Each structure stands twice: as structure tokens, then as C-alpha cells.
A and B are shown apart, each in its own frame.
Chain A
């Protein structure tokens, strides 16, 4: 009986968070013309949360996470610019490409621990090189693709908002349904989960494909927002780095962790960036080190450890 009440409170808190995010981000364009800050805030919330699907819920650390983002950006650019399809269709194409690449890379899920992380990194580099080798008429070569004819920041903002809503829905499904329970069971003890009848491969795949779909969509929408795609920025390892750092700072394994982490650290990042552009990278590195040494479970994780009675209420 108490158990049911607990999970009800947890769900209510989560509904509150979702409502707050929805209202907040939906209303921003009504008050300001400077969408950039909030646009990128959504971007990082999505990137960090989707990373959490596979890292926090399934226990894998894909260091080549940026591959999905880059593939999504290029798929959008190529479908729009080279094949002349409308942007919404191109974005759906980007999502499908993300899922396709996720399926292609699924065999690497057999690997565990750092082996998986390193191979994933190598695969991201391989994806980048593959695009570099494609004919310049399709990918724009070293100059990249310019989508200026599609320029519409407001529409792109709301496209990102829709992706955010999809992400929140997906997070709810992955974490609070039977799938979520199964995922946690697999993460903690794969053999035991299999023994009690959890479909290990299938369940893990759901988390993995979700973690491939969202960065691909985000990459596509970001390309639309900035109107520019090139290899160096689309496959920049810092995208992986920031997704990991934001997710971990908040706390892996909790839905609210990456949201809180992105909100705080992206804000700090922007402040530093404006004040000292050259020191930005250095501080990012130092923040990662300090966070890992001082707060390895993230803010939410540390809170849950300190107030263990409240742990069951944290979504």
C-alpha cells in the first residue's frame, strides 16, 4: 500500500517537472526575440537525457555518442539541400537515419565496460570519415552544407520543443513502465535479470535505439536553426563530452538528473563563455575532473544518498 503511494508521489513530482518544462519553453518566444539561449538549453537537456537512457538506465557509456548527432545533421542537410525535400520530411529522415545507425551498431552492445566506450569512439570517427569520403556533390565536401533558404529560427525553436516533448514522453516510458524496471534489473545484474525472465537483448535495444534517435533529431534541428553543417562541428567530440558531463553532473539513472545538470551547467558554461572565451574549454575540463572526484553520483545522486528516505520520490 505504501509502495503504491510512494510511486504515486514520484509520478506526481515527475508530472510537475514535465509541466514546468513544457510551459516554460513553450512561452519563451512570447517574451523574447533572443531564442538562442533557451534553444540550446533544450538541446542540451535532450542530449544529456538521451545519453542517460543508455548510460544511466542500461549501463553503457557510448563515447561516440556524437555520431548520432552528426549523422542526423548530415541526413537533414542532404535530404533538404541535395534531394530538395521539405524540412519536416528531412527531419523525419534524420530520425530514421539515427535509428538505422543505432541498429547497425547494435552488435557492439555485446561488449562491456571500457571496451564498449572505446569501440563506440572509433565508430564515431569511422562515421565522420565515411561522410568525408562521400562525393562532395552530396555532402558539400569540406565546405559543408548551407541551408540558408530554410532559415526560420522560430519554427526550428518549436521543432526542438516538439523533440523535447517526445523525449519527456520516451523518458517516462523507459523509466516508469515495466521496461524501466527490466532495464534497471539488467544494469544491476544481467544474469539474474535473464533468469527471472527479462528479455535482456530486446529491453536493452529499446534504450539503445532511444539514445540513437534523439541525438539524430537534435542534430537535424540544430542544423536547421544555424543553417550550417560541417564535419568538424557536427562530429565534434565536445558534443559527447558535454552530454556526458551535464548528465553526470545532474545524476545518471534519474530522469531529473540530466535536466537539472544541463540547466545548471549550460547556464554556467554560457556565463564563462561570455566573460572569458579562451578559458571556456579549460574550465570545462577542470569542471569534469572536479565533478568526478567530488560528486561522482551527480547532484541528484548525492542528494538521494544524503536523504535516503526521500530517494524513492525522485523520478
Chain B
């Protein structure tokens, strides 16, 4: 195997885990709330700005800022649930209504960021020693390696939460059957608000990681992350946590190995074609069950 391809595969796995994290938080929200968070990418970019300003104003390193951002975003999500999401459940078609409301939130949030942070791209000014590691002939920047480590830890904590704790089990039970869990006494309202908080908190953390790994960010690119998140969750199956991880890594690998041979535009296009291909063969995604009603 040639070295370039190997480098592409390594990049693919690392970026794939970031995509997986985006998909994971989107899928937790969709699974529990039936809300398609169109504004996810904007929240991610807001997280990136959070890391940027935490460093500029308070001198906090991004790693210290991360739990803070998780807490702030989590609380915001908890509040937003009562402000926006709860009312949607009563609409004729909650899924589409949620998609549209979050679309509005995305537009408004993008505009707010443009007004407050201006249109210039920003990048996080920090350095780690050593700046990169060499594995044979493969270069892996330390920041990416750290991000990979953080994502693995977050995913492990999330998996433990979902599969080993009582609220986590309740949350998965809601994904499986909304009506039945109410009968057994799960407080759907509180769980839903908590889930939205969890989803946005994870989006905030993803933003810090995005600021760490990618050279720059601006108010305009939120949409790109939303789209990647959508591709990942549709690939893996809507509402399925494991599907999101697999979908993210497949998408990352496809994009990054394609990048070895072609331009960025072609690589992105291939990602979209992968999605369309999978959907036509398996309309429910790799792990999903219910796309066709």
C-alpha cells in the first residue's frame, strides 16, 4: 500500500471520528425528540468561537474551555427545549415542523454570529510541543491525535451513560418506544429537555475540536457541518447511536482517501454520491429500520 493512501486512511479515521461525534449528537436528539436539528452546524461553530474567546479574553486553553462550553451549551439546550421544541410536539407533522423551526434558528444564529463576530475567518492561536508525530512516514499532528483521544473518551463516556446508567437506559427506551416508556413512569418532558441539552453540549465540544483541528472557521461554514452530520446519520440510520459512529467513519474514510487522488470538490461529491448510493440500496441507512412509512 502506498504511503499517501495510508496517510489518507489515517486522516479519514481521525476526521471520521469527528464526523461520528457530530452524527452521534444529532442522532441522540433525533432519536429521543424526533427533532432534526438543522442548526447543529451553527452550534458547532458557536462552540469554536467559544474556545476562541475563552482563550482571547480569559487565557483559557481549549482543553480547559471544553467542559465549560459543554456546561453552557447544555444549559442553553435545556432552556431551548422549553422555549421551542416542546410546542412542536402538538403540530400536525412534528418532524417537518422541527426541521423548519431549526432551519429558522440556523439562519438567525448564522446572522447573529455574522453581526457579532464579523465575517473574517478566525483560528485558534495555540501550539503544542511537539507539533506532530511521525509513525514511519505518516505524519499525524499532535492536535489531531489529542482530538482523537478526546473523542474516544467522550464516546466511551456516552456509551457508558446510554447502556449502563438509568437515565441513559430510559433515553434509549424513548428512542425505541415513546409511548411505552411513559407507562412505566419515565418523565418524558425532563428526559427530552436533558437530551436536547446533551446534544447541544456535545455540539459545543465538537466546535472546540473543530477549532483545534481545522485551520480556521467563520460564521458561514456552520451549514457544511450540518450537512456532514445529516449525511452521517442518514448513512448510519436515523436515531441510531451506533449507526452514527459507523456512518461518520465511513464518510471520513471515503472523503479523505478520495482526497488523495482527486480535488476537494470531487472528494465532497463522492461523499454525497456514497449517501445517495446507500440510500437507494438500503433506504433506512445501514442500521435504521423506519425510513419507509
Which A residues fall within an 8 A CB radius of B? 61, 63, 107-108, 110-115, 117-119, 121-123, 125-126, 129-130, 132-133, 237-238, 241, 244, 248, 278-282, 284-289, 291-293, 296-297
Contact = CB atoms under 8 A, between A and B. Distances in A.
Nearest to B292: A112
Chain B facing A: main interface SS = helix
Nearest to B91: A296
B238 A292 contact: no
Nearest to A123: B276
A281 B283 CA distance: 35
B273 A126 contact: yes
B96 A61 contact: yes
B193 to A, nearest CB: 17
A118 B276 CA distance: 11
Interface of B: 36, 84, 87-88, 91-92, 95-97, 99-101, 103-112, 114-115, 223, 227, 230-231, 234, 238, 263, 265-266, 268-269, 272-273, 275-276, 279-280, 283, 291-293
Given A107-B280, A282-B108, A122 B101 contact: no
Contacts, number: 130
B36 A129 contact: no
Given A123-B276, A126-B276, A248-B100, A285 B106 contact: yes
Given A129-B265, A133-B266, A121 B227 contact: yes
Given A114-B96, A289-B84, A122 B105 contact: no
A280 B108 CA distance: 10
A111 B96 contact: no
A291 B84 CA distance: 12
B244 to A, nearest CB: 14
A119 B103 contact: no
A117 B102 CA distance: 14
Nearest to A61: B96
A107 B92 CA distance: 26
Contact of B105 (A114, A118, A289): A289
B275 A122 contact: yes
A281 B111 contact: yes
B111 A113 contact: no
Of residues A107, A133, A285, A291, which shows the largest number of chain B Cβ atoms within 10 Å of its Cβ?
Answer: A285
